[in-house]
Homo-oligomer: A and B are copies of this chain.
Amino acid sequence: MSLKLAGDEMSAFLDQVFPQVRGMFAIDRLDDDLLVMRLHANEQHLRPGGTVSGPAMFSLADVAAYVATMARIGPQALAVTTNCSIDFMRKPVAGADILAHAKVLKLGRALSVTDVLLYSDGQPEPVARATLTYSIPPDR
């Protein structure tokens, strides 16, 4: 699947539609094969012990699936998450950013399905995995 938006265009689009999370995420890589998104570990997302919280990891998986889908269909601010299943498998490393590796498994007319693996920056084993379905507005 070829891309309709490059990484810097996508970053600008995200800042525009989700101003309230500006600075929270960054796009490390965006190409045909893979999207890598970064969650900057900061006070707001940490649990006691300094590890990133489950809801912050959910946010990262959700935005990564959105970005991976938008990159393929073009900017559609109205696409919405309809389903997510997420497994939390390991404790994140304290203080480390979280990286999401997202792959679009299906891009249909009405739905996209994206798999996401989450890693503590620098670690080989994933801390979580998620699959997200986005509903895509019919009028694109």
Contacts and interface: CB of A to CB of B under 8 A. Distances in A.
A123 to B, nearest CB: 13
A83 B57 CA distance: 12
A131 B85 contact: yes
A110 to B, nearest CB: 6
A21 to B, nearest CB: 9
A86 interface: yes
Interface stretch (A4-12, A28-36, A43-51): A43-51
What's the number of copies of this chain in the assembled complex?
4
Interface string A88-102: 111100000000000
Interface residues of A, number: 41
A122 interface: no
26 contacts: A17-B48, A20-B46, A48-B77, A54-B81, A55-B55, A55-B59, A58-B58, A80-B88, A81-B88, A82-B87, A82-B88, A82-B111, A83-B83, A83-B85, A84-B85, A85-B86, A85-B131, A87-B106, A87-B133, A89-B105, A105-B129, A110-B110, A113-B129, A115-B115, A129-B131, A133-B133
Interface of A: 17-20, 43-44, 46-48, 54-55, 58-59, 62, 77, 80-91, 105-106, 108, 110-111, 113, 115, 117, 125-126, 129, 131, 133, 135
